Structure 1
Amino acid sequence: MLLQLGLNGCYRGVVRPSVIARASRTLGKRFNSQAVKTTFEKEHEILVAQRGNRPVSPHLTIYQPQLTWYLSSLHRITGVILGSGFFAVTIAFGISTLFGLGLNTENLKNYYKEKVPAWADWTAKGTAAYFFAFHFGNGIRHLIWDTGKELTIKGVNRTGIVVLALTAIGGTALLFK
């Protein structure tokens, strides 16, 4: 019983035996529990009911939004979109070559010029240009952080604003190439 209570200091004379005896009697009365047989389903119902009584954490709603949140999220989103587009085209060319479907750059260029309207062309090019410019610039920003530079709040905000400015310039340059 002494080891269960974590009172093994009494062996060294740190705690008087009367204090340990009193604590043992009090804990024994207060926590006199018995094992009850139950099923997994009943235990699961109890667990679900207990979870329903837990308070909900405020999570992100208690924090003021910051530039770093938005840029981090946007970096991940642009990376996924650019990567997905790259892999879709690569897989399409691979499957076409494997099965002899005739997809090549010349056929793709002709189809694109004949079937895609101008507004869709500008939308696709603009999206790709600005996404690439942002993802590239923010990647350079991360490389700067990897060197241990610009890691203060002021430096992080400064590099974030530089990335946004370079995205506007670089994306526009790529769009009109």
Structure 2
Amino acid sequence: MPDVRDALMIGKRSDGKLVRRPLSPHLQVYKPQVSSSTSIINRMTGIALSVGLILMVWWLVAAASGPKSFAVAQGFIGSPIGLILMFGWTLSLWYHFFNGIRHLLWDMGWGFEIKTSHQTALVVVAATAVMTVICWIIGLAVWL
């Protein structure tokens, strides 16, 4: 039985001659790089922000629904699981924000050099960590 992938590898040149096209290598071939890692993390934080938004909408609806509903939502968000989710949401928010600024700089044509790209990736990670910690210090100081 012929392999289906063989049919995908056959193509025609502009003169009509049949040629064998290469297949893309699998992920195991690639080595992790700063640019690919930051891109993947940016997509993951976008998903995390969407999930976190569901939690925030629940909290807002509960606040509008009355004291009992709000107490349930606030109890979950104040629980260890809720705090972990909120920490992840805060981390995702700051990462997505700073990486978005990095992408805006790319849109203006700045930062495509490998050295600059690696430096801005490190700046994004550092700024994310700093702002997440600052938010949680302020938030916990106000809450407690």
| Shorter-chain TM-score range | 0.5 to 0.7
Q: Please tell me the residue identity of whatever aligns with 1:163.
A: V
TM-score relative to the length of structure 2: 0.68
Residues 94, 132 of structure 2: 8 Å contact kept? yes
Change (3 A) 1:106 1:175: farther
Check conservation: 2:52, 2:86, Cα contact below 8 A.
Answer: no
Aligned to 2:92: 131
Q: Aligned-pair distance for 1:174?
A: 1.7
User: Using a 3 Å threshold, how does the CA distance of structure 1 residues 68 and 170 change in structure 2: closer, same or farther?
Assistant: same
How many residues matched?
Answer: 123
Q: State the partner residue of 1:51.
A: 4
- Residue 74 of structure 1 aligns to a residue whose secondary structure is helix
> What corresponds to 1:76 in structure 2?
43
1:157 and 2:118 aligned: yes
Structure 1 pair 103–51 and aligned structure 2 pair: CA distance change class (3 A): same
Would you identify which runs of 4 or more consecutive aligned residues in structure 1 move more than 2 Å? 52-64, 83-90, 105-109, 112-118
Q: Structure 1 residues 136, 112: closer, same or farther in 2, change over 3 A?
A: same
SS of match in other structure, 1:104: helix
| C-alpha RMSD over aligned residues | 3.1
Contact 1:79 1:135 survives alignment (8 Å) = yes
Q: How far has the Cα of 1:63 moved from its partner? A: 2.8
Which protein is bigger by CA-based radius of gyration? Answer: 1
Unpaired runs of 5+ residues, structure 1, are 1-45, 97-101
Relative to structure 1, the CA distance from residue 136 to residue 106 in structure 2 (aligned partners, 3 Å threshold; closer, same or farther) is farther
Alignment partner of 1:58: what SS?
Answer: coil
Match of 1:119 among 80, 105, 128: 80
Higher strand share: 2
Question: In the TM superposition, what whole-angstrom CA distance separates every residue of 1:36-88 from its partner, at most 9, and x where no partner exists?
Answer: xxxxxxxxxx7xx3426679753333332101111101111111221243257
In structure 2, C-alpha distance between the alignment counterparts of 1:113 and 1:103, rounded to whole Å: 9
Candidates 116, 133, 137, aligned match of 1:172: 133
Change in Cα spacing, 1:116 to 1:65, as seen in structure 2 (3 Å) is: closer
Q: 1:104 and 2:68 equivalent? A: no
- TM-score, structure 1 length as denominator? 0.57
Change (3 A) 1:147 1:172: same
CA distance in 1, matches of 2:125, 2:77: 30
Structure 2: distance between partners of 1:75 and 1:105: 34
**Shift, 1:89, TM fit:** 5.1
Q: Secondary structure of the equivalent of 2:32?
A: coil
